Amino acid sequence: GDSVTQMEGPVTLSEEAFLTINCTYTATGYPSLFWYVQYPGEGLQLLLKATKADDKGSNKGFEATYRKETTSFHLEKGSVQVSDSAVYFCALMERETSGSRLTFGEGTQLTVNP
Amino acid sequence: DSGVTQTPKHLITATGQRVTLRCSPRSGDLSVYWYQQSLDQGLQFLIQYYNGEERAKGNILERFSAQQFPDLHSELNLSSLELGDSALYFCASSVEGGYGYTFGSGTRLTVV
């Protein structure tokens, strides 16, 4: 079945550092890929998405490129801020096999120190 | 405010009891999804309803059930509760064919 694997956390960075959170997936078809963010005490918010190979999703300085050849969707940000501290989830949706169900990775806790 | 409303925000109950969690989807969304978030299992898909009918089922225990009413709100019923059922339960909604969900802020269930 479908699965998503994220790099193990937690990740701790200093403000203005470069961020990469790795995400790889396993799917039988051509999934859509997502990054969600969960701030403390809140629900998940869609951060960005990509629906086909080579698409780049971007939002709030975060970017991720859909790489079919490496089955990856790594999240990057050039300069993190304290306010980016949250849990980040990679997810996929494969309509052909699972309808509109989202399959999530384990989540990566990011802490940014001033 | 995401537009998806979950009540209650917190619930503490004893083992063996039954609780009902409620979700009102975002206006216009016909699909409702329930997810369980626990420390050891991560985010697990439980069940999806679309316009009142069950559309997909995930790792939902037989002790759990859900339904979606004509006004599109949904309820998740958890019975014979065990300590391991303690978790955050999220509801999300979406338009049919859309990409990405809108999540509620969750109900934190603690079973003691």
Closest residue of chain B to A96, computed from CA coordinates: B97
- Chain-chain contact of B90 with A42 (C-beta, under 8 angstroms): no
CA A68 to chain centre: 15
Sheet holding A19-21, edge to edge: A19-21, A75-77, A62-65, A56-59
For A55, the enclosing helix (H) or strand (E) is: none
Q: How far is B75 from chain A (nearest CA, A)?
A: 18
Q: Which of A4, A33, A44, A96 should be substituted to probe chain B, the one whose Cβ sees the most B Cβ atoms within 10 Å? A: A44
- Check if the beta carbon of residue A18 is closer than 8 Å to that of residue A77: yes
User: What average pLDDT is seen over chain A?
Assistant: 92
At B56-98, the pLDDT tens digits run 899 899 999 999 999 999 999 999 999 999 999 999 998 876 6
At B11-54, the pLDDT tens digits run 999 999 999 999 999 998 999 999 999 887 789 999 999 999 99
Q: How far is CA B83 from CA A74, A85, B110, in A?
A: 36, 30, 8
